[in-house]
Chain A
Amino acid sequence: MSDATNLTAQIDINTIPALGKEQLLELAMGPQHPSTHGVFRMNVVLDGERVMKLKPVFGYLHRNHEKIAESETYLGSMPYTDRLDYICSITNNWAYAIAVEKLAGIEVPERAEYLRVITGELTRLQNHACLLGFLMQDMGASGTPLMYAFREREKIMDLFEGLTGARMMCNYLRFGGCRVDAPAGWMDAARKVVAEFPRFLDEYENLLVGNEILMDRTQEVGILSKELAINAGISGPMARASGVDYDIRKVDHYSIYDRFNFRVPLGERGDVYDRYMIRFLEMRESIKILEQAMRDIPDGPIVDPKTKIRGFRPKPGEAYGRIESPKGELGFYLVSDGALNPYRYRVRPPSLINLTVLEDLCIGQNVADVVVILGSIDIVLGEVDR
C-alpha cells in the first residue's frame, strides 16, 4: 500500500502530454452514473486504472435559487432553502433564519432555541446515517448497510413529520422562532428515538468497521492534508477528519451551543477511513447534545409575536449568518435595501466548497477509488448547483 502511494506522489499532471495521447483514456463519469449522488459529471483522464486528471462538471441541477430569492419576500425564500441540501432541510432553515435575524435584529425565545438545537442535531444524525449508507453503497456493499441506515433515518423523518408536517421539506423555522410548538407526546417520542440511536451505531460499527474489505478500500485513499484543507476553505467533518480543529458550534457559540457539554472529534490522517469514522464520533456527540437539550428544554413562547409574517421589511444593511451544518459551514449573506425582498442573497454552500479539492484527492488513485472519495466528501447536488 505504501509503495503505491509513493509512486503516485511522483506523478505530475504537467507531464501528461509527454506520455502520449494514445495511451490515455478520457472518460466521462456521469451525469447519470449511479455513484455520483445526483447529476454530477467527472471528466477523468485515465492511464490504465490510474486517474491522471479530473475535471468536475456540475450545474445540471441549477435552478436559480439566489436570483429567485431576490424576487421573493424574506419568508417566501424559507421553503426554497429546504431544497438546497434536501437531506437536512432544518439546518438550512436555521442558517437563513440566523442571517435574517441578524439583519433585522430579532431576538429568539429560549424554547425556540432549544427546539432549533434538537431538530438541528436530529438532522445531523440523519445526514450522517445517510452518508454512511451511501458510502457503503458506493463501495459495493449493495443494499444492507444502506437499508440499515435508512431504517434509522425513517424514525427521525417520522419525528419531523409529527412536528413540522413534512418529512423532508420541513420549512419549520421562522424569523424569531419556530413555526409550531411540539405537539403532546412528541418530546417523549423524540427521547425514545435518541435513546435507541446508540444501539444502531453499535450495530453499524459491528457490521463494517472491522471489515477488511472496507479497510483496504478506504485506508490511505484520498488523503487530504491539513494544509490543503485550510487553504481550500474546507469545513465541517471533512476538515476535522484532516485534523483541523474548527467547529462553528464551538467557534461562534451561535444559538445556545455554549450551554452544552460536547467534544469535537478530530481525525489524524485525512483519508477516507478517517472521514468515515469521524461521522460515527460526531453522531455520538450529537446524541450527548440531544440528551442535554431534551432534559433542559423550558416552557414558554416559541416565536416572537412582534415579528411580522407579511410585509416584513428589515432596515437597510447587510448580514452574514452561518451555522455548522452537517456538511460544513453553511452561510447566508443578505443585503437589504429596506424593501420586501433582499437586494442580494448569497449562499455559501459547504458541499460545493468541499468539492473543490476533488481533483487533488483523486490524482494517482484508481478509478474505483474516485467513487469512494466522492462519497466521503458528502455532497448533495441540490446545494452544489443551487
Chain B
Amino acid sequence: MVGKGIIKGMVETARNFLGSYVSKQRLTTIQYPEERAPQIEAARNFPFLVFDGTDAERGLRCVACQICEKECPPKCIFIEKSKDKKPDATGRMQFYPATFNIDISVCMSCQICVEVCPFDSIKMDVVYDLSNNDRFAGLLLHKQQLAKSNEYYNTIHPTEAAAVDAHFAEERAKAAAKVKAAAEAKLAAEAKAAADSNAKAETPLADTQAQPVGGGTR
C-alpha cells in the first residue's frame, strides 16, 4: 500500500511527541538562560591562573618560566618576566609575571598550556557566558582577570585540584624538611666550629662529641 511507510513514520513521531509529556528521556530540551545543565567535572573552556591564599598578587603560582607561551599552538599567551623575585608556593625565591595576557579570541582551548606547566599554575576554567561588546580589549584577559583562587579551582575540578594540593603539600613538607635540615646543619657546623675552637683551646674530646649532631646534614 502506498503511504504505509509514511504512516509508520508518523506513528513514531506521535509516540515521541506524546511521550515527551510523560518521559524525561524524550524531552531533552533545557530552557537555557533560566535553567542550566549540570556542569561536567572534566569540562574545559579557557585557561586561568591559580593563586594560593587570599592575595592574588602575592600568591600567584606562576613563575614566568614562559614554557606555556612557547608551547601554545596558536600563540595566544603573552608573558613579561619581572625584574625582582618573590617567594613561590614552596617558599623559594622565584620570578613572577609582570604581565600575563591571554587573548581568548585566539585561544582554542586545547589545554596544552596546562599539560606543559611544571608549576601547576595554569588550569582550565569552565565559565562559558563570556560574550562581550569589545572584540579586542574585552577578550584580552590580563593577569588581574586571569588570577583565580585555589578554592575556586577546588570547586570546579575537585578531583584534579585535590591531586594538585596533595602534590604541593608533599613539596612543602620536603622544602620544610630541607630548611630544617639546613638549619640543623648550620647549628651543627656552628657547634663544630665552637668545638674546634674549644678543642684548640682545651681538650680534643669535644670534636668526637660533635660528630652525631653533624649526621643531621645528610
Report which A residues bind B (CB closer than 8 A). 72-73, 75-80, 82, 144, 148, 151, 154, 158, 161-166, 169, 171, 179-180, 183, 203, 206-215, 309-310
Contact = CB atoms under 8 A, between A and B. Distances in A.
A208 B9 contact: yes
A165 B41 CA distance: 8
B9 A154 contact: no
A164 B111 CA distance: 10
B9 A169 contact: no
Given A169-B109, A171-B110, A206-B9, 15 more contacts: A73-B71, A76-B71, A79-B73, A144-B13, A162-B41, A163-B42, A164-B42, A207-B8, A208-B9, A210-B8, A211-B6, A212-B4, A212-B6, A213-B6, A310-B116
Interface residues of B, number: 29
B40 A162 contact: yes
Interface in B103-134: 108-112, 115-116, 124
B128 to A, nearest CB: 11
B212 interface: no
Q: Which 6 A-B pairs have the closest CB atoms?
A: A210-B5, A79-B110, A165-B44, A76-B73, A211-B5, A207-B12
Contacts of A211: 5-6, 8-9
Contacts of A161: 40, 42-43
Nearest to A163: B42
B4 A165 contact: no
B110 A180 contact: no
Contact of A207 (B9, B43, B67, B159): B9
B54 interface: no
A185 to B, nearest CB: 10
A165 B5 contact: no
B160 to A, nearest CB: 9
B124 to A, nearest CB: 7
Contact of B115 (A80, A214, A309): A309
Nearest to B15: A203
Contacts of B8: 206-207, 210-211
A79 B108 contact: yes
B108 A180 contact: no
Interface of B: 2-6, 8-9, 11-13, 16, 28, 40-44, 67, 71, 73, 108-112, 115-116, 124, 159
A312 to B, nearest CB: 11
Nearest to A77: B73
Contacts of B159: 183
B13 A166 contact: no
Contact of B12 (A77, A180, A206): A206
A214 B8 CA distance: 13
B30 to A, nearest CB: 11
A212 B9 CA distance: 11
A179 to B, nearest CB: 8
Contacts of A72: 73
Contacts of B73: 72, 76-77, 79-80
22 contacts: A75-B71, A75-B112, A76-B73, A79-B108, A148-B16, A154-B28, A158-B40, A161-B43, A162-B41, A164-B42, A165-B44, A165-B111, A169-B109, A171-B110, A206-B8, A207-B13, A208-B9, A210-B9, A212-B6, A214-B5, A309-B116, A310-B67
A309 B111 CA distance: 13
A80 B74 CA distance: 9
B12 A203 contact: yes
A166 B109 contact: yes
B112 A76 contact: yes
Nearest to A210: B5
Contacts of B12: 203, 206-207
A154 B116 CA distance: 31
Nearest to B118: A310
A209 B159 CA distance: 46
Contacts of A162: 40-42
Choose among A162, A206, A213 the residue with the greatest number of B CB atoms under 10 Å from its CB: A206
A165 B102 CA distance: 20
A158 B42 CA distance: 11
Nearest to A214: B5
Contacts of B108: 79, 169
Contacts of A79: 73, 108, 110, 112
Contacts of A163: 42
A151 B5 contact: no
Given A79-B73, A206-B9, A210-B8, A171 B111 contact: yes
B9 A180 contact: no
A80 B110 CA distance: 9
Given A72-B73, A169-B108, A207-B13, A212 B44 contact: no
A192 to B, nearest CB: 11
A70 to B, nearest CB: 13
